[in-house]
Structure 1
Amino acid sequence: MLVVRIDLHAHSSASDGTEPPDLVVRAAARAGLDVVALTDHDTTAGWSDAATAAVREGVALVRGTEVSARWRGISIHLLSYLQDPTHPALLAELDRTRAARLGRARAMVDLIARDHPITWDDVVAQAGDAVTIGRPHVADALVARGIVPDRDAAFVELLRADGRYHVPHYAPDGPDAVRAIRAAGGVPVFAHPGADARGRIVPDETFEVLAAAGLAGLEVDHRDHPPEQRERLRAIADRLGLLVTGGSDYHGAGKVNRLGENLTQPHVLAAIEEQGSVEVVRP
């Protein structure tokens, strides 16, 4: 039986991954993937290079974006697949969110610098060519300075949402973000909705609100979801008629997550393609 390996969640250095888009696609090929999605935070800047690499490396590419949003004070992320990258309403939201992320990062660095030897120039050096600059780049600067041993420690010790250095940032309300993605011809999937180790997660009734706005699916199979959480989310998806996806949330050296560690079924990808407005890039 032919097995098609599909990973619908990966990041490049266009946001907070450590590898440029073409190398993410190359890594996907070496990991034995048939399909990979590039879903950088709040940007489509990596799409072109990734598409060129997909043809060269023999891996199909699903072009997407991980859109920042918020619901009742809780941060949520929506994976937008196959949207029109020029759609003005969605572009405006992404631009506003990126600017807010940047401002938040600078404000957090100012706070941290009162207690630790870090500067904004340190963060810029770590961000490189990233279009979306945020807390992961602050974490990398903290690591480079020897203040913490790795990104995970930075988020646990200094960058956590309930910590003394936390600064909130703008993000659209979840239902509004879902509607903006749909207006752009995209297919919105709730990323790692049960990852409670990252902070507060939304209550069950939120899924009904988002589904009514046009949510297409839930990312159930994710490293941050233990078996009981996956069972809970599958039941919600089944009840609401939502797609179930899986992905690695790959960030290169930025996380321990490995390409292909969680996968999506081919019939789910087919449903996403049917709903999206741009084509999957195939070699």
Structure 2
Amino acid sequence: MILLLIYFLCVRGNIVYTEDKRLLLNDPDVLVNRLNRLESVVTVLNSTVVQLKTENQQQASTIIQQEKTIQQLQSSLNSVQNSGATYIIWGRKQCPHNNTELVYSGYAGGGHYNEIGAAVEHVCLPPDPNYVKTSGEDHGRMYGAEFYTNFFADDAANEDVPCALCRTNHANTAIMIPGKNTCYSGWKVEYHGYLASGAIGNQAASTYACVDIKPEYIIGGVDRHFGKLLFGVLTKCGSLKCPPYKNNYPLTCVVCSK
């Protein structure tokens, strides 16, 4: 009897427990809580979606900016590849380096050494001139250039001077430095030699030019015709400080690129 009573109580208890559980599951408050939790989850998910969209937009903006940067860099690279510096090598027919483009090889020229009003600068005349008019007024004049003495080489006197217009494909700037035969750090030597100018007793003014250390000559140009004459340049102490300079020493020169 006692065992039956215990059994009945246990079964009855389970039924009560089960019914209570059913009642709890059907309780409106429980449903509301569950809905609230679901809404919270949905809110978090929506927030996550918005955040992901924002991040995607930022990433897309970053990609666009990077593409623009790449295009700018490519444009700059193309500009560098298509750029270059030009210089004239005096006393040579060819450019000094394999990676330097020869624009043309020609003849050094300028105004007559003894004509007042003559143009001062040296020019590198091309070998294939183009003429349009067949006559003109005889005011401005162009002469060829000669080495007047053997200063630049043992057999240079009276020789006509060649020149070459060169373009570097590894630099954007080319400069001539008087008094140096080497370049400063970061610069590359294109060629070096001795500084040249007109003579102090000449009527015409002149400019300085850097003649290559091993000059060549124009074939057939051994006769003395005068014209634009090239002489070595000596330093003179006074307002020019000695040291570092030395009185009556010939000045070197170098053409550097970067």
Q: Same fold (TM over 0.5)?
A: no
Structure of larger gyration radius? 2
Greater share of residues in helix: 1
Greater share of residues in strand: 2
TM-score (norm: length of structure 1): 0.24
TM-score (norm: length of structure 2): 0.26
> RCO higher in 1 or 2 (8 Å CA, sep ≥ 6)?
1
